[in-house]
A and B are shown apart, each in its own frame.
Chain A
Amino acid sequence: MMDGRDFMKGNEALAIGALKAGLNAYFAYPITPSSEVPETLAREFKSPEYPEFRMFLQAASELEAISMVIGAASTGAKVMTATSGPGFSLKQEGMSYAAAMELPFLVADVNRAGPGLGNLGPEQSDYLQATRGGGHGGYRNIVLAPNSVQEMAAFPGLGFSLAFKYRNPVVILADAFLGQLKEDIVFPKIAPERFPTPWAASGARGAERHVLASLHLDFEDQSRHAEHLARKYEEVESAEQRSDSYMASDADVVLVAYGVVARLCRRAVKELRERRVRAGLFRPVTLSPFPSNDLKALVDKGVKKFVVVELNAGQMILDVRLALEGRGQIESVHKMGGLLPAASDVVRRVEALSK
């Protein structure tokens, strides 16, 4: 496009966004509806535009792909993989090891309907799995929730900077709709960020020996490590909450939604305002840490009703309840199976509630 805009799918934007953020290695095991991510990266491999993109490898399974990610991330490289529900489950064991080893990398989960194989439509049913750390042992992922193709392009950069800052896996939690949605976007012209990696196993002759392991057989040692991780998650919790809000500060009722659902809720808010319902929108950008502080601030401003709209039977609503600590009335609107609620349905529900 002559004016510097591009027109592409969310999945393609995620891939190009990662390249522009300086991606070094991608380990692929394609699964619908995320397959355009590896497709795009395979196409761009060896492109002179991305000299830092040095490895693209198709694994034989998701387990193999996440293990390759662990290996490459151990060297301090910028590494990514992408998947969807069933594949994300298979990667959980590796993510637990990576959390223990404190490895920075990106995993995109383009959420499809589940459980099981489900179907290829959008859902937000991996919310708890992603935000709680879906593998064994007590760990947390940092989870980012884009709501547009523009954010699909931008979040790999943000994701790498959080991953390296905290030495922690970062999940980009999208959904089938965002993966397949095409929009006009602008890639910011910025040089990839460089991160110091004094902990990395560089393999260089004569370099200091660095052991990256998840095994701590000594109880005292494991206890110290677990406490260290817990402190880190607390630090992330206090420093990295991110959210967006729209017409929320003077609202009587606030819709809480993330991802593509937040887009249709923004439309619903406009329609509600036209019908003289003082509605607003609160959109978590980080799902983990959940932006509790900003949400709590809305109750302090006098918001009394919250309607949580999500593509699952009620998962984020648990975090909303925790954040609001019993204050405010909290209702749920949901849709599952690959379908989205209509903005008009949300409008009707909110109108009924505000009478």
Chain B
Amino acid sequence: MKVEVITAGQGGQGVLELANYIAYFEIMKGRHAAYTPSYGPESRGGKVKCYVVASDEQIDSPIVEEPDVLIVMNALSMDFVPMLKAGGTLIFNSSLVEQGPRRTDIKVRRVPATALAASLKELGPPGGGDTSIAANSVMFGAFLAVAGEPLAGQTEAVREVLAHFFTERKAAYIMLNSRAVETGYAFVTDHPEETSAPRELLA
């Protein structure tokens, strides 16, 4: 088993963290994983992409040329769609991306990640606050659903992944993010996948 993933978005959307969750989850499943962030001198506001390769065997190249799964967090990052392997899956943040892909040889999952994360207000900081920052965790859940990982019985594993990255003061956000993972997972499970050109192109 080998899976190659690209996560893409803009700085501040947690694109690198999302890739970290995926890589760490795969390692916890006993696989090998390689994670390569690539970013310019700006750590926020620019285009951010990250490669993840996970495999049962030793990983040859950590470089992803034709991802099986592409997760796009913002409109600008739809530029990566041509890289996706034929038959691969595009998961995109439909809260921020209006125009779907033109390719017809890929599977498409539109997930309103920012809106779903924002709806988890009650788990945000006391006194209310924006929880849309957890959109990346929604996408982690969407990825797990697309990868066919049964979420039942994995709650602990997901929590362990989050606990690895949310340490010290940030530990307060584990609850929000694990709920965000479940929300993304449920959304993908409840909505059928699109295999042809999206509706607006056919209309």
Contact = CB atoms under 8 A, between A and B. Distances in A.
Contacts of B36: 177, 180-182
B32 A183 contact: yes
The CB with the most chain B CB atoms within 10 A, among A1, A183, A342, is that of: A183
A266 interface: yes
Q: How large is the interface on B (under 10, 10 to 19, 20 to 34, 35 or more residues)?
A: 20 to 34
10 contacts: A7-B23, A181-B34, A182-B37, A183-B32, A183-B33, A183-B62, A260-B62, A263-B61, A263-B63, A342-B65
A321 to B, nearest CB: 27
B27 A184 contact: yes
Contacts of A183: 32-35, 59, 62
A1 B27 contact: yes
A270 interface: yes
Nearest to A120: B41
B61 A264 contact: yes
Interface of A: 1, 3, 5, 7, 120-121, 177, 180-184, 260, 263-264, 266-267, 270, 340, 342-344
Given A182-B35, A183-B34, A344 B65 contact: yes
B28 A263 contact: no
A291 B51 CA distance: 32
Contacts of B32: 183-184
Contacts of B27: 1, 5, 7, 184
B33 A343 contact: no
Contacts of A5: 27
Given A181-B34, A181-B36, A260-B62, 10 more contacts: A1-B28, A5-B27, A177-B36, A181-B35, A181-B62, A183-B35, A184-B32, A263-B62, A266-B60, A343-B63
B185 interface: no
Top 8 A-B pairs, shortest CB-CB distance:
A267-B61, A182-B35, A267-B60, A264-B61, A266-B60, A184-B27, A263-B61, A183-B34
A182 B61 CA distance: 13
B140 interface: no
B63 A264 contact: yes
A343 B28 contact: no
Nearest to B59: A183
B30 interface: yes
